[in-house]
């Protein structure tokens, strides 16, 4: 195996292990919402009237995951779906007053930290990962990951 392929395999292994790690604890436990539900509530609060597809795109999660989450939030009385006046097939998402209150309370409790945009890699996992690095190592890791991300985005934009 070439050294480059070994690095790719090791990086994939590390990220897969990070993604599989359960959250150590939910900082919102006792607030009546899970981290995933908070992310959905927060996104709907940021874009009242958005579609489920828009929420899925914004949070980088599968539309089916949003469907299940929105259904649960709707059953809990936090979200309502209304017909889109411009497209009778589509539904718009809005927080109910109870949803607005729950979202505000969770945001206040969490110290204004936004939920992770991607629900796969949890905040506490990242914090624990970075705690094992010096400030310089963390900055180097971040710079290298951002450089790799820019390369991917450049490839994506040139393919369009």
For residues 101 and 111, which has the higher predicted lDDT (pLDDT)?
101
What's the mean pLDDT in 3-11?
63
CB atoms within 10 A of CB 56: 19
Q: Is the confidence at residue 106, as pLDDT, over 80? A: no
Tokens of 35: 């981290």
Q: What is the pLDDT of residues 48-84, one digit of tens each?
A: 999 999 999 888 888 898 999 999 999 989 999 999 9
CATH of domain 25-119: 1.10.10.10
**Is the overall model pTM greater than 0.75, yes or no?**
no
Reduce the DSSP state of residue 9 to 3 states and report it.
helix
Domain with CATH 1.10.10.10 in the chain: 25-119
For residues 102 and 159, which has the higher predicted lDDT (pLDDT)?
102
147 φ, ψ (degrees, to nearest 5)? -65, -45
């Amino acid at each position: 195996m070439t050294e480059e392929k070994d690095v790719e395999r090791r990086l994939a292994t590390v990220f897969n292990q990070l993604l599989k790690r359960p959250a150590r604890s939910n900082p919102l436990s006792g607030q009546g919402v899970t981290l995933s539900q908070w992310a959905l509530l927060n996104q709907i609060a940021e874009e009242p009237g958005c579609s489920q597809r828009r929420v899925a795109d914004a949070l980088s999660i599968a539309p089916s995951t949003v469907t299940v989450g929105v259904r649960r939030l709707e059953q809990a009385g936090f979200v309502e779906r209304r017909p889109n006046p411009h497209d009778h097939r589509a539904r718009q998402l809005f927080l109910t007053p109870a949803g607005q209150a729950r979202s505000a309370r969770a945001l206040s409790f969490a110290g204004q930290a936004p939920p992770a945009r991607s629900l796969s890699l949890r905040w506490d996992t990242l914090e624990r990962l970075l705690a094992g690095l010096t400030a310089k190592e963390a900055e180097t890791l971040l710079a290298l990951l951002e450089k790799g991300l820019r390369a991917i985005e450049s490839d994506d934009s040139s393919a369009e």
